[in-house]
Amino acid sequence: MKKVYFDNAATTKVHDEVVNAMSEVLKNNFGNPSSTHSFGRSSKVLLEKSRNAIAKHLNAEPGEIIFTSGGTESNNLILQSAVNNLNVTHIITSKIEHHAVLNTVNMLHENYGVKVSYVKLETSGDINLNHLETLMQTKAKTLVSLMHINNEIGNVLNLQRVANLCKKNDVLFHSDAVQSVGNYKLNLKEIAVDFIVASAHKFHGPKGVGFAFIRKNSNLKPIIIGGEQERGLRAGTESLHNIIGMETALKIAFENLESTANYITDLKQYFIEQLQNKIPNVDFNGTSSNLNNSAYTILNVQLPYLAEKSNMILFQLDLKGIACSRGSACQSGSEKKSHVLTEILNESELQKPSLRFSFSKYNTKDEIDYVVEVLKELY
């Protein structure tokens, strides 16, 4: 059976070069980076080389890169510490954030009485920036938490503009950049964001490792208590092989950033055209079909099928060897509709099946032709 993988927003295939780099470390650099003997020092050198390389890609300081287990932990570190240690009492976010942010913010509201304000959304799913600035007009210590690229509909936030608004209003700014790091250039010397998070498995690295960018002198404190690893912000022995894998994956991504973006953008445009040609009344959610205003890696398709076909469509596609999703992988198995689409679609639109197709450089136009033909048959 033909196997086609279009769920790269959930996770990506690991590069062979990344696997090789990780294997080399597992075999030859098993020392604890915190140990003072030669085995430990050797591992420490590799650890700091990776930190420096990642910082250079983002135009950040090495000390601003804190290694974690991934996006969820990084989001928790920043949001929880902002409340517990920076005296944040007001968080501004949106209802279409990843659950790593939404559920953490909700916990902070329930357990600590933090006020949570949700910024209005345009019908496209874009953030209403005028309302965002209105919400900042408060004497309370405030943090804005808005993702750079929405993981379901691909809408892109203007980080620079939001960062400038936050700076102007003396508000902290945190952005979940899990879908953008490795796909876009981010110059953190120019963009006045205080905190961003990244996860290696979104850019062809290993699972279980990521990092938080925490701007220097932020005064955050750890939420995992133990040793003094990671500048005292994240206790626990660093997973060196995973970190090396992440740094290698990011290096490959930045070496090929423009060519990869052009290749995948062409794939996405081709997919849109083929769907429109073969399936009458197909539609697209958010700004995902706008090549100038959405992530080139994500397309959210609304299919003109009868409601009764909606529940079985992923199963039917899986039987044909096609992997895609309805939304975030974190919701897999849930009977609930996508919380993102619920915010931007009307009731009749929600009855139709919507699927997220997300691309990588390993995808081809032949695979797109196959998927479109299967969707046409189901139609």
Position 326 scores a pLDDT of 84
Quick count: other Cβ atoms within 10 Å of Cβ 173? 24
Q: Of the listed 330, 331, 369, 378, which one is catalytic? A: 330
Query: Could you tell me the pTM of the whole model?
Result: 0.95
Q: Are residues 192 and 215 in the same domain?
A: yes
> Is 330 a catalytic site residue?
yes
Range of the domain at 157: 16-255
Q: Are residues 248 and 269 in the same domain?
A: no
Average pLDDT, the chain: 95
Position 330 scores a pLDDT of 55
Q: List the chain residues with pLDDT less than 70.
A: 307, 309-310, 327-335
Return the axis-axis angle of helices 38-58 and 240-255, rounded to nearest 10°: 30
Q: Determine the Cα–Cα distance for residues 309 and 111; give it in Å rounded to an integer.
A: 41
- Number of domains composing the chain: 2
Dihedral-angle region of residue 208 (phi above 0 means left; psi in -120 to 50 means alpha; beta otherwise): left
Residue 301's CATH number: 3.90.1150.10
Q: Are residues 198 and 329 in the same domain?
A: no
Dihedral-angle region of residue 73 (phi above 0 means left; psi in -120 to 50 means alpha; beta otherwise): alpha
Sheet containing 210-214: which strands, arranged edge to edge?
A: 65-68, 210-214, 195-199, 172-176, 142-145, 90-93, 115-118
Residue 49's CATH number: 3.40.640.10
Q: Determine the Cα–Cα distance for residues 173 and 161; give it in Å rounded to an integer.
A: 11
Amino acid at 37: H
Choose the final residue of a domain: 225, 255, 285.
255
What would you report as the CA-atom Rg of the chain, rounded to the nearest whole angstrom? 21
Position 306 scores a pLDDT of 74
Helix (H, G, I), strand (E, B) or coil at 302: strand
Q: How confident is the model over 91-101, as pLDDT tens digits?
A: 999 999 999 99
Contacts of residue 70, defined as CB under 8 A and 6 or more positions apart, other chains included, come to 199, 200, 201, 207, 208, 209, 210
Position 307 scores a pLDDT of 67
Position 328 scores a pLDDT of 61
